[in-house]
Structure 1
Protein backbone atom coordinates (compact mmCIF):
# COMPACT_ATOMS: atom_id res chain seq x y z
CA UNK A 1 0.00 0.00 0.00
CA UNK A 2 1.27 3.50 -0.82
CA UNK A 3 2.27 5.67 2.11
CA UNK A 4 0.02 8.53 3.21
CA UNK A 5 1.52 11.96 2.57
CA UNK A 6 1.57 14.00 5.77
CA UNK A 7 -0.17 17.35 5.73
CA UNK A 8 1.05 20.30 7.77
CA UNK A 9 -1.62 22.50 9.34
CA UNK A 10 -1.08 26.25 9.73
CA UNK A 11 -2.90 28.11 12.49
CA UNK A 12 -3.78 31.78 12.83
CA UNK A 13 -1.55 34.04 14.98
CA UNK A 14 -4.05 36.30 16.78
CA UNK A 15 -1.47 38.32 18.76
CA UNK A 16 0.94 39.08 15.91
CA UNK A 17 0.25 42.82 16.26
CA UNK A 18 -0.09 42.88 20.07
CA UNK A 19 -3.84 43.06 20.90
CA UNK A 20 -5.89 40.16 19.56
CA UNK A 21 -6.78 40.72 15.90
CA UNK A 22 -8.40 37.82 14.03
CA UNK A 23 -7.64 39.04 10.50
CA UNK A 24 -4.43 39.61 8.58
CA UNK A 25 -3.34 40.68 5.10
CA UNK A 26 -0.10 40.27 3.20
CA UNK A 27 1.57 40.09 -0.16
CA UNK A 28 1.79 36.51 -1.40
CA UNK A 29 5.29 37.06 -2.79
CA UNK A 30 6.83 38.60 0.36
CA UNK A 31 4.95 37.09 3.33
CA UNK A 32 7.39 35.18 5.53
CA UNK A 33 6.82 31.40 5.72
CA UNK A 34 3.94 31.52 3.25
CA UNK A 35 3.74 28.18 1.41
CA UNK A 36 4.21 28.62 -2.33
CA UNK A 37 5.51 25.19 -3.30
CA UNK A 38 4.23 21.64 -3.86
CA UNK A 39 4.03 20.88 -0.13
CA UNK A 40 0.62 19.56 0.91
CA UNK A 41 -0.78 21.80 3.64
CA UNK A 42 -4.02 23.09 5.13
CA UNK A 43 -5.17 26.14 7.06
CA UNK A 44 -7.36 26.24 10.17
CA UNK A 45 -8.83 29.59 9.04
CA UNK A 46 -10.40 31.24 5.97
CA UNK A 47 -8.30 32.69 3.16
CA UNK A 48 -9.04 34.64 -0.03
CA UNK A 49 -6.27 34.92 -2.63
CA UNK A 50 -6.10 37.70 -5.23
CA UNK A 51 -3.63 36.92 -8.02
CA UNK A 52 -2.18 39.97 -9.79
CA UNK A 53 0.68 38.27 -11.65
CA UNK A 54 1.93 34.76 -12.32
CA UNK A 55 0.73 31.44 -13.67
CA UNK A 56 0.48 27.78 -12.71
CA UNK A 57 -2.07 25.77 -10.78
CA UNK A 58 -3.47 25.66 -7.26
CA UNK A 59 -4.91 22.37 -6.01
CA UNK A 60 -7.64 22.61 -3.37
CA UNK A 61 -8.75 19.21 -2.07
CA UNK A 62 -9.22 17.14 -5.23
CA UNK A 63 -9.81 20.16 -7.50
CA UNK A 64 -7.06 21.83 -9.50
CA UNK A 65 -7.52 25.38 -10.76
CA UNK A 66 -5.45 27.53 -13.10
CA UNK A 67 -3.74 30.66 -11.81
CA UNK A 68 -3.51 33.83 -13.87
CA UNK A 69 -3.91 37.60 -13.30
CA UNK A 70 -7.46 38.30 -12.08
CA UNK A 71 -7.90 34.91 -10.37
CA UNK A 72 -9.60 34.98 -6.96
CA UNK A 73 -9.48 31.80 -4.86
CA UNK A 74 -11.57 31.06 -1.75
CA UNK A 75 -10.42 28.48 0.81
CA UNK A 76 -12.27 27.27 3.88
CA UNK A 77 -10.71 25.78 7.04
CA UNK A 78 -9.35 22.25 6.64
CA UNK A 79 -9.12 22.15 2.86
CA UNK A 80 -5.94 20.51 1.56
CA UNK A 81 -3.84 22.74 -0.70
CA UNK A 82 -0.85 22.49 -3.03
CA UNK A 83 0.79 25.07 -5.30
CA UNK A 84 2.39 24.32 -8.67
CA UNK A 85 3.81 27.63 -9.87
CA UNK A 86 5.11 28.09 -13.40
CA UNK A 87 5.62 31.86 -13.40
CA UNK A 88 6.24 33.70 -10.10
CA UNK A 89 2.99 34.61 -8.38
CA UNK A 90 2.26 37.98 -6.78
CA UNK A 91 -0.89 39.38 -5.23
CA UNK A 92 -2.74 39.67 -1.94
CA UNK A 93 -3.70 37.06 0.62
CA UNK A 94 -6.44 37.96 3.09
CA UNK A 95 -7.03 35.51 5.92
CA UNK A 96 -9.17 35.55 9.02
CA UNK A 97 -10.76 33.48 11.77
CA UNK A 98 -14.53 33.05 11.67
CA UNK A 99 -14.91 34.83 15.02
CA UNK A 100 -13.63 38.08 13.48
CA UNK A 101 -17.08 38.40 11.91
CA UNK A 102 -19.21 36.02 14.01
CA UNK A 103 -18.70 37.90 17.27
CA UNK A 104 -19.55 41.23 15.66
CA UNK A 105 -22.67 40.07 13.81
CA UNK A 106 -23.77 37.66 16.57
CA UNK A 107 -24.42 35.12 13.83
CA UNK A 108 -22.47 31.87 13.94
CA UNK A 109 -23.82 31.01 10.47
CA UNK A 110 -22.63 34.27 8.93
CA UNK A 111 -19.94 32.84 6.64
CA UNK A 112 -22.31 30.14 5.34
CA UNK A 113 -24.33 32.94 3.73
CA UNK A 114 -21.71 33.35 1.02
CA UNK A 115 -21.71 30.99 -1.95
CA UNK A 116 -17.95 30.60 -2.25
CA UNK A 117 -17.07 29.30 1.24
CA UNK A 118 -17.68 25.65 2.24
CA UNK A 119 -18.37 24.94 -1.40
CA UNK A 120 -18.21 21.36 -2.74
CA UNK A 121 -20.49 21.32 -5.78
CA UNK A 122 -19.24 24.47 -7.55
CA UNK A 123 -15.83 26.06 -8.17
CA UNK A 124 -13.97 27.74 -5.32
CA UNK A 125 -12.27 30.17 -7.65
CA UNK A 126 -13.32 32.74 -10.22
CA UNK A 127 -11.73 34.85 -12.92
CA UNK A 128 -12.78 38.50 -12.99
CA UNK A 129 -12.03 41.30 -15.43
CA UNK A 130 -9.85 44.30 -14.66
CA UNK A 131 -12.48 46.70 -13.31
CA UNK A 132 -14.07 44.41 -10.69
CA UNK A 133 -10.63 43.12 -9.73
CA UNK A 134 -9.45 46.70 -9.18
CA UNK A 135 -12.50 47.33 -6.97
CA UNK A 136 -11.36 44.43 -4.78
CA UNK A 137 -7.81 45.78 -4.70
CA UNK A 138 -9.08 49.18 -3.52
CA UNK A 139 -10.70 47.55 -0.48
CA UNK A 140 -7.63 45.41 0.16
CA UNK A 141 -5.43 48.52 0.08
CA UNK A 142 -7.80 50.11 2.60
CA UNK A 143 -7.27 47.15 4.94
CA UNK A 144 -3.52 47.22 4.28
CA UNK A 145 -3.38 50.94 5.05
CA UNK A 146 -5.16 50.46 8.36
CA UNK A 147 -2.68 47.74 9.35
CA UNK A 148 0.15 50.19 8.66
CA UNK A 149 -1.11 52.47 11.47
CA UNK A 150 -3.22 50.38 13.82
CA UNK A 151 -5.38 52.28 16.31
CA UNK A 152 -7.78 51.23 19.05
CA UNK A 153 -10.74 51.30 16.69
CA UNK A 154 -8.92 49.75 13.68
CA UNK A 155 -10.64 46.39 14.04
CA UNK A 156 -14.01 48.07 13.38
CA UNK A 157 -12.82 49.79 10.21
CA UNK A 158 -11.07 46.63 8.97
CA UNK A 159 -14.24 44.63 9.62
CA UNK A 160 -16.23 47.17 7.58
CA UNK A 161 -13.79 46.82 4.66
CA UNK A 162 -13.99 43.01 4.89
CA UNK A 163 -17.79 42.98 5.04
CA UNK A 164 -18.01 45.15 1.92
CA UNK A 165 -15.47 42.95 0.14
CA UNK A 166 -17.31 39.71 0.99
CA UNK A 167 -20.61 41.10 -0.33
CA UNK A 168 -19.03 42.33 -3.58
CA UNK A 169 -17.29 38.99 -4.09
CA UNK A 170 -20.58 37.18 -3.52
CA UNK A 171 -22.20 39.30 -6.24
CA UNK A 172 -19.35 38.57 -8.67
CA UNK A 173 -19.50 34.85 -7.88
CA UNK A 174 -23.29 34.70 -8.30
CA UNK A 175 -23.09 36.49 -11.64
CA UNK A 176 -20.29 34.32 -13.02
CA UNK A 177 -21.81 31.00 -11.94
CA UNK A 178 -25.48 32.00 -12.29
CA UNK A 179 -26.45 31.20 -8.70
CA UNK A 180 -28.61 32.81 -6.04
CA UNK A 181 -26.77 35.79 -4.54
CA UNK A 182 -29.23 36.69 -1.79
CA UNK A 183 -27.44 36.26 1.54
CA UNK A 184 -30.72 36.21 3.46
CA UNK A 185 -32.32 32.96 2.39
CA UNK A 186 -34.16 31.06 5.15
CA UNK A 187 -31.86 30.52 8.15
CA UNK A 188 -32.61 26.77 8.17
CA UNK A 189 -30.62 26.45 4.94
CA UNK A 190 -27.53 27.91 6.61
CA UNK A 191 -28.11 25.71 9.66
CA UNK A 192 -28.24 22.71 7.32
CA UNK A 193 -24.95 23.71 5.65
CA UNK A 194 -23.34 24.11 9.07
CA UNK A 195 -24.64 20.73 10.30
CA UNK A 196 -23.53 19.08 7.09
CA UNK A 197 -19.94 20.20 7.67
CA UNK A 198 -19.97 18.54 11.09
CA UNK A 199 -22.17 15.46 10.57
CA UNK A 200 -21.66 14.36 6.95
CA UNK A 201 -19.40 11.39 7.78
CA UNK A 202 -22.14 9.43 9.56
CA UNK A 203 -25.44 11.22 8.88
CA UNK A 204 -26.18 10.72 5.19
CA UNK A 205 -29.99 10.85 5.03
CA UNK A 206 -32.25 13.86 4.62
CA UNK A 207 -34.38 12.57 7.50
CA UNK A 208 -31.45 12.76 9.92
CA UNK A 209 -30.98 16.46 9.22
CA UNK A 210 -34.68 17.33 9.22
CA UNK A 211 -34.92 15.82 12.70
CA UNK A 212 -32.00 17.96 13.88
CA UNK A 213 -33.59 21.04 12.32
CA UNK A 214 -37.17 20.11 13.29
CA UNK A 215 -38.48 20.77 9.76
CA UNK A 216 -40.03 18.60 7.05
CA UNK A 217 -38.00 16.96 4.25
CA UNK A 218 -40.11 18.84 1.69
CA UNK A 219 -39.28 22.21 3.22
CA UNK A 220 -35.55 21.41 3.45
CA UNK A 221 -35.50 20.38 -0.22
CA UNK A 222 -37.33 23.57 -1.17
CA UNK A 223 -34.83 25.90 0.52
CA UNK A 224 -31.84 23.86 -0.69
CA UNK A 225 -32.98 24.11 -4.31
CA UNK A 226 -33.74 27.82 -3.85
CA UNK A 227 -30.20 28.71 -2.80
CA UNK A 228 -27.97 25.94 -4.19
CA UNK A 229 -29.93 24.47 -7.09
CA UNK A 230 -29.47 21.04 -5.49
CA UNK A 231 -31.74 18.82 -3.43
CA UNK A 232 -30.80 18.17 0.20
CA UNK A 233 -29.74 14.60 -0.66
CA UNK A 234 -27.57 15.84 -3.52
CA UNK A 235 -25.86 18.28 -1.17
CA UNK A 236 -25.17 15.48 1.30
CA UNK A 237 -23.74 13.27 -1.45
CA UNK A 238 -21.63 16.07 -2.96
CA UNK A 239 -20.13 16.83 0.44
CA UNK A 240 -19.38 13.18 1.20
CA UNK A 241 -17.84 12.50 -2.23
CA UNK A 242 -15.74 15.67 -1.95
CA UNK A 243 -14.31 14.51 1.38
CA UNK A 244 -13.72 10.98 0.08
CA UNK A 245 -11.85 12.34 -2.94
CA UNK A 246 -9.75 14.47 -0.59
CA UNK A 247 -8.65 11.37 1.28
CA UNK A 248 -8.01 9.42 -1.92
CA UNK A 249 -5.89 12.38 -3.02
CA UNK A 250 -3.89 11.95 0.20
CA UNK A 251 -3.28 8.30 -0.75
CA UNK A 252 -5.35 6.73 2.04
CA UNK A 253 -6.55 3.19 1.35
CA UNK A 254 -10.15 2.48 0.34
CA UNK A 255 -10.52 0.26 3.42
CA UNK A 256 -9.33 3.01 5.77
CA UNK A 257 -11.62 5.58 4.14
CA UNK A 258 -14.67 3.30 4.07
CA UNK A 259 -14.56 2.54 7.80
CA UNK A 260 -13.68 6.15 8.61
CA UNK A 261 -16.92 7.30 6.94
CA UNK A 262 -19.07 4.62 8.53
CA UNK A 263 -19.56 2.24 5.59
CA UNK A 264 -20.25 -1.35 6.67
CA UNK A 265 -17.48 -2.69 4.42
CA UNK A 266 -15.23 -1.56 1.52
CA UNK A 267 -17.49 -3.13 -1.13
CA UNK A 268 -20.42 -0.91 -0.07
CA UNK A 269 -18.08 2.05 -0.12
CA UNK A 270 -16.89 1.17 -3.65
CA UNK A 271 -20.49 0.85 -4.90
CA UNK A 272 -21.48 4.19 -3.36
CA UNK A 273 -18.50 5.96 -4.93
CA UNK A 274 -19.04 4.42 -8.37
CA UNK A 275 -22.77 5.18 -8.34
CA UNK A 276 -22.11 8.88 -7.77
CA UNK A 277 -18.96 9.36 -9.87
CA UNK A 278 -19.19 6.65 -12.54
CA UNK A 279 -15.78 5.21 -11.60
CA UNK A 280 -14.32 3.19 -8.73
CA UNK A 281 -12.10 4.75 -6.03
CA UNK A 282 -9.15 2.86 -7.52
CA UNK A 283 -9.87 4.28 -10.98
CA UNK A 284 -10.18 7.78 -9.54
CA UNK A 285 -6.83 7.45 -7.77
CA UNK A 286 -5.22 6.17 -10.98
CA UNK A 287 -6.65 9.09 -12.99
CA UNK A 288 -5.23 11.56 -10.50
Structure 2
Protein backbone atom coordinates (compact mmCIF):
# COMPACT_ATOMS: atom_id res chain seq x y z
CA UNK A 1 0.00 0.00 0.00
CA UNK A 2 1.39 3.40 -0.99
CA UNK A 3 1.19 6.60 0.98
CA UNK A 4 -2.11 8.34 1.62
CA UNK A 5 -3.05 10.73 -1.18
CA UNK A 6 -3.37 14.28 0.14
CA UNK A 7 -6.60 16.03 -0.79
CA UNK A 8 -6.48 19.83 -0.58
CA UNK A 9 -9.59 21.49 0.84
CA UNK A 10 -10.69 24.96 -0.27
CA UNK A 11 -12.80 27.11 2.05
CA UNK A 12 -15.13 29.98 1.31
CA UNK A 13 -13.81 33.55 1.79
CA UNK A 14 -16.79 35.38 3.32
CA UNK A 15 -15.14 38.82 3.60
CA UNK A 16 -13.76 39.06 0.07
CA UNK A 17 -16.02 42.07 -0.58
CA UNK A 18 -15.52 43.72 2.82
CA UNK A 19 -18.73 42.87 4.64
CA UNK A 20 -19.77 39.24 4.99
CA UNK A 21 -21.06 37.71 1.77
CA UNK A 22 -21.74 33.96 1.68
CA UNK A 23 -22.11 33.66 -2.10
CA UNK A 24 -19.78 34.44 -5.00
CA UNK A 25 -19.80 34.20 -8.77
CA UNK A 26 -17.13 34.38 -11.45
CA UNK A 27 -15.97 33.34 -14.86
CA UNK A 28 -14.20 29.97 -14.66
CA UNK A 29 -11.48 31.09 -17.05
CA UNK A 30 -10.59 34.30 -15.18
CA UNK A 31 -11.46 33.74 -11.51
CA UNK A 32 -8.34 34.07 -9.38
CA UNK A 33 -7.15 30.84 -7.68
CA UNK A 34 -9.87 28.70 -9.31
CA UNK A 35 -8.54 25.13 -9.58
CA UNK A 36 -8.72 23.86 -13.18
CA UNK A 37 -6.03 21.17 -13.19
CA UNK A 38 -5.84 17.46 -12.37
CA UNK A 39 -5.04 18.07 -8.68
CA UNK A 40 -7.38 16.18 -6.36
CA UNK A 41 -9.26 18.68 -4.21
CA UNK A 42 -12.53 19.26 -2.36
CA UNK A 43 -14.63 22.27 -1.39
CA UNK A 44 -16.24 23.01 1.97
CA UNK A 45 -19.14 24.77 0.21
CA UNK A 46 -21.64 24.24 -2.64
CA UNK A 47 -20.80 24.96 -6.27
CA UNK A 48 -22.74 24.94 -9.55
CA UNK A 49 -20.63 25.00 -12.72
CA UNK A 50 -22.09 26.19 -16.04
CA UNK A 51 -20.02 25.20 -19.09
CA UNK A 52 -20.25 27.43 -22.17
CA UNK A 53 -17.12 26.23 -23.98
CA UNK A 54 -14.44 23.60 -23.54
CA UNK A 55 -13.55 19.92 -23.82
CA UNK A 56 -12.31 17.30 -21.39
CA UNK A 57 -13.71 15.67 -18.27
CA UNK A 58 -14.61 16.67 -14.73
CA UNK A 59 -14.45 13.86 -12.17
CA UNK A 60 -16.52 14.05 -9.00
CA UNK A 61 -15.88 11.02 -6.82
CA UNK A 62 -16.19 8.15 -9.27
CA UNK A 63 -18.54 10.03 -11.62
CA UNK A 64 -16.90 11.40 -14.74
CA UNK A 65 -18.66 14.20 -16.62
CA UNK A 66 -17.87 14.95 -20.26
CA UNK A 67 -17.29 18.67 -20.61
CA UNK A 68 -19.21 20.32 -23.44
CA UNK A 69 -21.31 23.46 -23.95
CA UNK A 70 -24.53 23.36 -21.93
CA UNK A 71 -23.21 21.06 -19.21
CA UNK A 72 -24.13 21.92 -15.62
CA UNK A 73 -22.33 20.25 -12.70
CA UNK A 74 -23.52 20.28 -9.08
CA UNK A 75 -21.06 19.71 -6.25
CA UNK A 76 -21.78 19.42 -2.53
CA UNK A 77 -19.31 20.03 0.32
CA UNK A 78 -16.64 17.36 0.78
CA UNK A 79 -16.82 15.67 -2.63
CA UNK A 80 -13.43 14.84 -4.17
CA UNK A 81 -12.95 16.26 -7.64
CA UNK A 82 -10.47 17.02 -10.40
CA UNK A 83 -10.37 18.30 -13.98
CA UNK A 84 -8.80 16.84 -17.12
CA UNK A 85 -9.06 19.63 -19.69
CA UNK A 86 -8.40 19.11 -23.40
CA UNK A 87 -9.63 22.50 -24.61
CA UNK A 88 -9.95 25.67 -22.49
CA UNK A 89 -13.06 25.67 -20.32
CA UNK A 90 -15.18 28.82 -20.24
CA UNK A 91 -18.34 29.50 -18.30
CA UNK A 92 -19.63 30.48 -14.88
CA UNK A 93 -19.06 29.14 -11.41
CA UNK A 94 -21.57 29.98 -8.68
CA UNK A 95 -20.61 28.96 -5.17
CA UNK A 96 -22.08 29.58 -1.76
CA UNK A 97 -22.20 28.54 1.88
CA UNK A 98 -25.34 26.75 3.08
CA UNK A 99 -26.10 29.60 5.50
CA UNK A 100 -26.60 32.03 2.62
CA UNK A 101 -29.97 30.37 2.02
CA UNK A 102 -30.63 28.66 5.36
CA UNK A 103 -30.68 31.91 7.31
CA UNK A 104 -32.91 33.61 4.75
CA UNK A 105 -35.49 30.85 4.61
CA UNK A 106 -35.16 29.86 8.29
CA UNK A 107 -34.98 26.26 7.07
CA UNK A 108 -31.86 24.22 7.78
CA UNK A 109 -33.14 21.51 5.42
CA UNK A 110 -33.59 23.92 2.51
CA UNK A 111 -30.81 22.62 0.25
CA UNK A 112 -31.98 19.02 0.69
CA UNK A 113 -35.12 20.01 -1.19
CA UNK A 114 -33.19 20.02 -4.46
CA UNK A 115 -32.53 16.68 -6.13
CA UNK A 116 -29.02 17.45 -7.35
CA UNK A 117 -27.26 18.29 -4.05
CA UNK A 118 -26.04 15.59 -1.60
CA UNK A 119 -26.60 13.10 -4.37
CA UNK A 120 -24.90 9.69 -4.20
CA UNK A 121 -27.21 7.46 -6.21
CA UNK A 122 -27.97 9.61 -9.28
CA UNK A 123 -25.87 11.81 -11.62
CA UNK A 124 -24.49 15.12 -10.37
CA UNK A 125 -24.56 16.74 -13.80
CA UNK A 126 -26.95 17.31 -16.66
CA UNK A 127 -27.08 18.74 -20.15
CA UNK A 128 -29.24 21.84 -20.61
CA UNK A 129 -31.05 22.82 -23.77
CA UNK A 130 -30.07 26.14 -25.35
CA UNK A 131 -33.29 27.64 -24.03
CA UNK A 132 -32.71 26.45 -20.44
CA UNK A 133 -29.08 27.53 -20.53
CA UNK A 134 -30.18 30.95 -21.76
CA UNK A 135 -32.61 31.35 -18.84
CA UNK A 136 -29.89 30.35 -16.38
CA UNK A 137 -27.37 32.75 -17.92
CA UNK A 138 -29.85 35.63 -17.59
CA UNK A 139 -30.09 35.00 -13.85
CA UNK A 140 -26.32 34.58 -13.56
CA UNK A 141 -25.81 37.91 -15.34
CA UNK A 142 -28.23 39.48 -12.84
CA UNK A 143 -26.24 38.10 -9.90
CA UNK A 144 -22.96 39.15 -11.50
CA UNK A 145 -24.28 42.67 -12.13
CA UNK A 146 -25.35 43.03 -8.51
CA UNK A 147 -21.84 42.09 -7.36
CA UNK A 148 -20.40 44.88 -9.49
CA UNK A 149 -22.44 47.47 -7.56
CA UNK A 150 -23.08 46.00 -4.12
CA UNK A 151 -25.64 47.83 -1.98
CA UNK A 152 -27.07 47.32 1.49
CA UNK A 153 -29.93 45.23 0.13
CA UNK A 154 -27.89 43.27 -2.44
CA UNK A 155 -28.04 40.13 -0.30
CA UNK A 156 -31.82 40.00 -0.72
CA UNK A 157 -31.80 40.50 -4.47
CA UNK A 158 -29.02 37.95 -4.99
CA UNK A 159 -30.87 35.39 -2.84
CA UNK A 160 -34.04 35.84 -4.89
CA UNK A 161 -32.11 35.33 -8.15
CA UNK A 162 -30.32 32.28 -6.73
CA UNK A 163 -33.63 30.81 -5.55
CA UNK A 164 -35.10 31.18 -9.05
CA UNK A 165 -32.02 29.54 -10.52
CA UNK A 166 -32.13 26.59 -8.10
CA UNK A 167 -35.82 25.93 -8.82
CA UNK A 168 -35.36 26.12 -12.61
CA UNK A 169 -32.43 23.70 -12.38
CA UNK A 170 -34.44 21.38 -10.14
CA UNK A 171 -37.23 21.26 -12.72
CA UNK A 172 -34.77 20.49 -15.51
CA UNK A 173 -33.02 17.84 -13.40
CA UNK A 174 -36.37 16.18 -12.65
CA UNK A 175 -37.28 16.15 -16.35
CA UNK A 176 -33.91 14.75 -17.44
CA UNK A 177 -33.73 11.99 -14.80
CA UNK A 178 -37.47 11.36 -14.32
CA UNK A 179 -37.57 12.15 -10.60
CA UNK A 180 -40.02 14.21 -8.55
CA UNK A 181 -39.50 17.91 -9.03
CA UNK A 182 -41.75 19.03 -6.19
CA UNK A 183 -39.57 20.87 -3.66
CA UNK A 184 -42.26 20.44 -0.97
CA UNK A 185 -41.96 16.73 -0.32
CA UNK A 186 -42.76 15.29 3.12
CA UNK A 187 -40.49 17.09 5.64
CA UNK A 188 -39.51 13.84 7.37
CA UNK A 189 -37.80 12.73 4.17
CA UNK A 190 -35.63 15.86 4.20
CA UNK A 191 -34.97 15.41 7.90
CA UNK A 192 -33.83 11.84 7.22
CA UNK A 193 -31.48 12.99 4.43
CA UNK A 194 -29.98 15.63 6.72
CA UNK A 195 -29.58 13.14 9.59
CA UNK A 196 -27.99 10.62 7.25
CA UNK A 197 -25.27 13.10 6.26
CA UNK A 198 -24.37 13.56 9.94
CA UNK A 199 -24.94 10.10 11.44
CA UNK A 200 -24.12 7.50 8.77
CA UNK A 201 -20.77 6.55 10.36
CA UNK A 202 -22.28 5.79 13.77
CA UNK A 203 -25.76 4.65 12.79
CA UNK A 204 -26.87 2.31 10.00
CA UNK A 205 -30.14 1.10 11.47
CA UNK A 206 -33.42 2.15 9.85
CA UNK A 207 -35.11 1.66 13.23
CA UNK A 208 -32.74 4.11 14.92
CA UNK A 209 -33.29 6.79 12.29
CA UNK A 210 -37.05 6.28 12.56
CA UNK A 211 -36.78 6.70 16.33
CA UNK A 212 -34.75 9.91 15.96
CA UNK A 213 -37.45 11.22 13.61
CA UNK A 214 -40.24 10.01 15.92
CA UNK A 215 -41.90 8.02 13.13
CA UNK A 216 -42.26 4.29 12.41
CA UNK A 217 -39.73 2.34 10.33
CA UNK A 218 -42.51 1.45 7.92
CA UNK A 219 -43.41 5.09 7.36
CA UNK A 220 -39.75 6.04 6.86
CA UNK A 221 -39.39 3.34 4.21
CA UNK A 222 -42.63 4.47 2.59
CA UNK A 223 -41.55 8.11 2.18
CA UNK A 224 -38.04 7.11 1.07
CA UNK A 225 -39.43 4.90 -1.70
CA UNK A 226 -42.01 7.53 -2.62
CA UNK A 227 -39.58 10.42 -2.92
CA UNK A 228 -36.30 8.73 -3.93
CA UNK A 229 -37.19 5.33 -5.35
CA UNK A 230 -35.00 3.64 -2.74
CA UNK A 231 -35.67 2.10 0.67
CA UNK A 232 -34.26 3.79 3.78
CA UNK A 233 -31.70 0.98 4.13
CA UNK A 234 -30.61 1.41 0.51
CA UNK A 235 -30.11 5.13 1.08
CA UNK A 236 -28.01 4.42 4.17
CA UNK A 237 -25.89 1.95 2.21
CA UNK A 238 -25.51 4.32 -0.78
CA UNK A 239 -24.23 7.05 1.54
CA UNK A 240 -21.80 4.69 3.27
CA UNK A 241 -20.49 3.31 -0.03
CA UNK A 242 -19.94 6.83 -1.38
CA UNK A 243 -17.82 7.64 1.70
CA UNK A 244 -15.84 4.39 1.35
CA UNK A 245 -15.09 5.17 -2.30
CA UNK A 246 -13.93 8.64 -1.29
CA UNK A 247 -11.48 7.12 1.22
CA UNK A 248 -10.29 4.52 -1.30
CA UNK A 249 -9.64 7.40 -3.68
CA UNK A 250 -7.23 8.75 -1.05
CA UNK A 251 -5.36 5.41 -1.07
CA UNK A 252 -6.44 4.53 2.48
CA UNK A 253 -6.08 0.87 3.45
CA UNK A 254 -9.09 -1.39 4.00
CA UNK A 255 -8.06 -1.75 7.64
CA UNK A 256 -7.97 2.04 8.16
CA UNK A 257 -11.33 2.53 6.47
CA UNK A 258 -12.96 -0.32 8.35
CA UNK A 259 -11.79 1.16 11.67
CA UNK A 260 -12.78 4.74 10.76
CA UNK A 261 -16.27 3.78 9.61
CA UNK A 262 -17.03 1.48 12.52
CA UNK A 263 -16.86 -1.99 10.92
CA UNK A 264 -16.02 -4.80 13.33
CA UNK A 265 -13.08 -5.98 11.19
CA UNK A 266 -11.64 -5.61 7.64
CA UNK A 267 -13.24 -8.86 6.41
CA UNK A 268 -16.70 -7.60 7.41
CA UNK A 269 -15.92 -4.32 5.64
CA UNK A 270 -14.81 -6.18 2.48
CA UNK A 271 -17.96 -8.31 2.45
CA UNK A 272 -20.19 -5.24 2.82
CA UNK A 273 -18.46 -3.39 -0.03
CA UNK A 274 -18.60 -6.38 -2.39
CA UNK A 275 -22.26 -7.06 -1.59
CA UNK A 276 -23.17 -3.45 -2.43
CA UNK A 277 -20.92 -2.92 -5.46
CA UNK A 278 -20.15 -6.38 -6.85
CA UNK A 279 -16.41 -5.78 -6.48
CA UNK A 280 -13.87 -5.83 -3.64
CA UNK A 281 -12.28 -2.61 -2.34
CA UNK A 282 -8.94 -3.75 -3.79
CA UNK A 283 -10.48 -4.37 -7.22
CA UNK A 284 -12.23 -1.00 -7.09
CA UNK A 285 -8.99 0.76 -6.23
CA UNK A 286 -7.18 -0.90 -9.16
CA UNK A 287 -10.02 0.08 -11.51
CA UNK A 288 -9.67 3.70 -10.42
TM-score in same-fold range (> 0.5) = yes
- Aligned residue runs from structure 1 range 203-222, under 5 A: 203-222=203-222
- Aligned residue runs from structure 1 range 117-196, under 5 A: 117-196=117-196
- Runs (4 or more) in structure 1 with deviation over 6 Å come to none
1:186-233 per-residue CA deviation (whole Å, 9 max, x = no partner) reads 111001000000111121110110111111011101111111111101
SS in 1 for 2:37: coil
Distance 1:242 1:66 in 2: 21
Distance 1:17 1:260 in 2: 39
Distance 1:5 1:278 in 2: 25
Match of 1:63 in 2: 63
Distance 1:176 1:203 in 2: 33
Distance 2:68 2:203 in 1: 39
Match of 1:13 in 2: 13
Distance 2:169 2:161 in 1: 12
1:22-76 per-residue CA deviation (whole Å, 9 max, x = no partner) reads 1000000000110000111111110000000001111112222111110000000
**Aligned Cα root-mean-square deviation (Å):** 0.7
How much does 1:5 deviate? 1.1
Unaligned runs of 5+ in 1: none
* Length-normalised TM-score, structure 1: 0.99
Distance 2:69 2:287 in 1: 29
Match of 2:235 in 1: 235
Distance 2:280 2:11 in 1: 35
Question: Number of residue pairs matched?
Answer: 288
Instruction: Answer with 1-10 or 166-175: which moved more.
Output: 1-10
How much does 1:261 deviate? 0.6
Distance 2:87 2:231 in 1: 41
Distance 1:274 1:253 in 2: 16
- Aligned residue runs from structure 1 range 81-92, under 5 A: 81-92=81-92
* Length-normalised TM-score, structure 2: 0.99
Distance 1:221 1:122 in 2: 19
Instruction: Please tell me whether the aligned partners of residues 14 and 20 of structure 1 are also in contact (alpha carbons under 8 angstroms).
Output: yes
Distance 1:262 1:135 in 2: 46
